[in-house]
């Protein structure tokens, strides 16, 4: 065959179709190969039981595969494992493995940089370079699984980039991640975090992708204030965002995660409590408060964070404070920027 198989960008159904067309092999072989690559991280197949009677097919097939050029550029391991991947064009992206009790959550990037320019965000400071391909998104999961041996059962699109600004590649990745012959991660264990691209949320609805969990990076619940922190508010007002959320069909027990990075003296007043309550009114939400951890703003003290939390709880909101290091990362997009960690 002339074209190589860009394997990490294919769903099982697409792969199966291609295998039939290029090699005349049916679903039996497709299942074995897809599982060997995605579940077991294999790149050679000589000893695969299912291929033993297939002559030199296993070699021909292995030679036809193409993987995105990605290598680990640096890593930092403590409570969590952060790894920076170097892409084919030299761009760097960061991913984080967060150990839970008996499995791991993986926080992945969807773009190199980000064009949303949120003022509290390291990635926003970098500006936008390019979208990741589907294979580069899936490549991060392959590295976490097969290089680090992590048992990844939760995925959060909360690394570098605005996932809904790279919708085609993100949607294709979701289909691959949830495919039962590959990673087989249920939609309810995958969260896409957005800065509030109302049109992107509507597009998820149009494309029937609403089984995935949504996190909204709110950080300001009144337009004027939010514009100063998150310029995307100029394009999509909070009313527009709420309108999009209201039309997003949630499961019976489903909720939206509302992420709120607390910036001392900026978005932590009593008035802000009222604004958050008003925004959340009529939506099923869990509010995650994240004390700011950076240099552009001041981080509120633990007592102030707790007071803020209690005021929200007083309005019958379910609120969590994310303080542990891994939780910080998993609770808000934009806390990552691919800095070399060694
Ligand atoms: S917070 Fe998210 S959307 Fe905003 S600049 Fe950072 S990565 Fe982009």
Looking up residue 115, the CATH number of its domain turns out to be 3.20.20.70
Residues 144 and 169 in one domain: yes
- Can you read off the two tokens belonging to residue 263? 């910036």
Predicted local distance difference test score (pLDDT) of residue 342: 28
Question: What is the pLDDT, as a whole number, of residue 123?
Answer: 87
User: Listing from the earlier edge strand, what are the strands of the sheet with 70-77?
Assistant: 70-77, 81-87, 92-99, 104-107, 152-157, 190-194, 213-217, 256-262, 285-291, 318-321
58 with 74, same domain: the answer is no
Mutate to test the pocket of ligand 1, among 94, 119, 120, 124 (most ligand atoms within 8 A of CB): 124
Domain boundary among 21, 37, 66: 66
Secondary structure of residue 212 in the 3-state scheme: coil
Going by pLDDT thresholds of 50, 70 and 90, the confidence category of residue 338 is: very low
> Of 134, 94, 110, which is closest to residue 8 (Cα–Cα)?
134
- Helices (H) then strands (E): counts for the chain: 12, 14
Specify the pLDDT at position 328.
47
Ligand 1 neighbour 95 (Cβ under 6 A): no
Three-state secondary structure call for residue 175: helix
**Ligand 1 proximity of 334 Cβ (cutoff 6 Å):** yes
- SS3 for 146? helix
Alpha carbon distance 91, 70 (integer Å): 10
Ligand 1 center to 318 CA (angstroms): 24
What integer pLDDT is reported at residue 330 of this predicted model? Answer: 43
The tokens describing 224, both together, are 């004027």
Tell me, yes or no, whether 87 lies in a domain.
yes
Average pLDDT over residues 34-50: 90
pLDDT at 172: 98
pTM: 0.94
The vertex-74 CA angle with 70 and 77, nearest 5°, equals 120
With a cut of 80, say whether residue 219 has pLDDT above it: yes
pLDDT band at 53 (very low <50, low <70, confident <90, very high): confident
For 316, how many CA atoms within 13 A lie in the half-sphere containing its CB?
6
Q: Looking at the domain assignment, is residue 93 inside a domain?
A: yes
Tell me the average pLDDT across 55-72. 92
Distance 9 CA to ligand 1 centre (A): 25
Select from 217, 263, 297 the residue to mutate for testing ligand 1; criterion: most ligand atoms less than 8 Å from CB.
Answer: 217
Q: Is residue 24 part of a domain?
A: yes
Whether residue 148 sits in one domain with residue 91: yes
Residues 99 and 184 in one domain: yes
Question: Domain check: are 18 and 98 in the same one?
Answer: no
The predicted structure's pLDDT at residue 122: 85
Looking at the 3D structure of the chain, how many domains does it have?
A: 2
Q: Are residues 19 and 84 in the same domain?
A: no
Query: First CA to last CA across the chain, in angstroms?
Result: 42
Quote the CA–CA distance of 145 and 307 in Å, as a whole number: 40
- What is the percent of the chain with per-residue pLDDT over 90, rounded to a whole number? 82
Average pLDDT over residues 176-184: 95
Residues 126 and 268 placed together within one structural domain of the fold: yes
Domain identity same for 252 and 312: yes
The answer to whether residue 260 sits within a structural domain is yes
Percent pLDDT > 70 in the chain is 94
Check residue 1 and give its pLDDT: 56
pLDDT in tens, 270-329: 999 999 999 999 999 999 999 998 888 999 999 999 999 999 999 999 999 986 555 444
What is the spatial distance between Cα 341 and Cα 6, in angstroms, rounded to a whole number? Answer: 30
- The answer on 198 and 58 residing in a single domain is no
pLDDT value of position 306: 97
Residue whose Cα lies nearest atom 7 of ligand 1: it is 334
Are 181 and 34 a contacting pair, CB within 8 Å? yes
Do 283 and 212 lie in one domain? The reply is yes
User: Does residue 181 register a pLDDT over 50?
Assistant: yes
Q: Is the CB of 116 under 6 A from ligand 1?
A: yes
Per residue in 229-273, pLDDT tens?
999 999 999 999 999 999 999 988 899 999 999 999 999 999 999
Domain membership flag for residue 278: yes
CA of 189 to the centre of ligand 1 (A): 21
How far is the C-alpha of 312 from the C-alpha of 214, rounded, in Å? 21
* Domain that includes residue 119, residue range: 70-331
Contact 84, 92 (CB under 8 A): yes
Q: How far apart are CA 5 and CA 98, in angstroms?
A: 31
**How far is C-alpha 219 from the geometric centre of its chain's CA atoms?**
19
Report the CATH number that the domain containing residue 17 is assigned in CATH: 1.10.150
Ligand 1 lined by 161 (C-beta under 6 Å): yes
Mutate to test the pocket of ligand 1, among 95, 162, 166, 296 (most ligand atoms within 8 A of CB): 162
The residues carrying an active-site annotation are 94, 333
**Helical H runs in the chain?**
12-23, 27-38, 57-64, 122-126, 134-142, 167-178, 198-206, 223-229, 238-246, 270-280, 302-313, 325-331
Total residues found in the chain within this entry: 342
pLDDT digits (tens, 9 = 90+) for 127-179: 999 999 999 999 999 999 999 999 999 999 999 999 999 999 999 999 999 99
**CA 166 from centroid of its chain's CA atoms:** 11
- Report which DSSP code applies to 9: G
Q: 290 and 169 in one domain?
A: yes
In a domain, 342, yes or no: no
Confidence of residue 77 (pLDDT cuts 50, 70, 90): confident
Residues 39 and 109 in one domain: no
């Amino acid at each position: 065959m002339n074209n190589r198989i860009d394997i990490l960008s294919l769903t099982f159904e697409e792969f199966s179709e291609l295998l039939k067309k290029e090699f005349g092999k049916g679903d039996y072989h497709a299942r074995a190969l897809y599982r060997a690559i995605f579940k077991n991280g294999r790149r050679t197949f000589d000893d695969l039981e299912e291929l033993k009677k297939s002559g030199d097919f296993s070699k021909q097939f292995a030679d036809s595969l193409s993987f995105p050029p990605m290598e680990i550029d640096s890593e930092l391991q403590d409570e969590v494992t952060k790894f920076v991947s170097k892409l084919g064009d030299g761009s760097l992206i960061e991913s984080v493995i967060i150990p839970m009790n008996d499995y791991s959550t993986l926080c992945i990037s969807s773009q190199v940089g980000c064009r949303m320019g949120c003022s509290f965000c390291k990635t926003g400071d970098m500006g936008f370079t390019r979208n990741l391909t589907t294979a580069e998104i899936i490549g991060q999961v392959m590295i976490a699984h097969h290089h680090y041996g992590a048992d990844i059962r939760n995925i959060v699109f909360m690394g570098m980039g605005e996932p809904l600004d790279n919708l085609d590649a993100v949607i294709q990745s979701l289909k691959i991640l949830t495919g039962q012959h590959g990673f087989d991660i249920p939609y309810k264990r995958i969260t896409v975090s957005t800065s509030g691209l109302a049109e992107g949320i509507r597009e998820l609805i149009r494309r029937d992708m609403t089984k995935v969990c949504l996190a909204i990076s709110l950080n300001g619940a009144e337009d004027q204030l939010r514009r100063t922190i998150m310029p995307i508010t100029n394009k999509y007002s909070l009313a527009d965002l709420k309108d999009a959320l209201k039309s997003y069909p949630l499961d019976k027990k489903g909720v939206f995660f509302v992420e709120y990075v607390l910036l001392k003296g900026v978005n932590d007043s009593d008035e802000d409590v009222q604004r958050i309550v008003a925004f959340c009114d009529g939506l099923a939400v869990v509010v995650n408060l994240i004390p700011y951890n950076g240099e552009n703003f001041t981080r509120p003290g633990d007592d102030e964070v707790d007071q803020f939390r209690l005021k929200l709880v007083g309005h019958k909101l379910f609120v969590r404070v994310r303080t542990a290091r891994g939780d910080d990362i998993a609770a808000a997009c934009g806390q990552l920027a691919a800095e070399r960690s060694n």
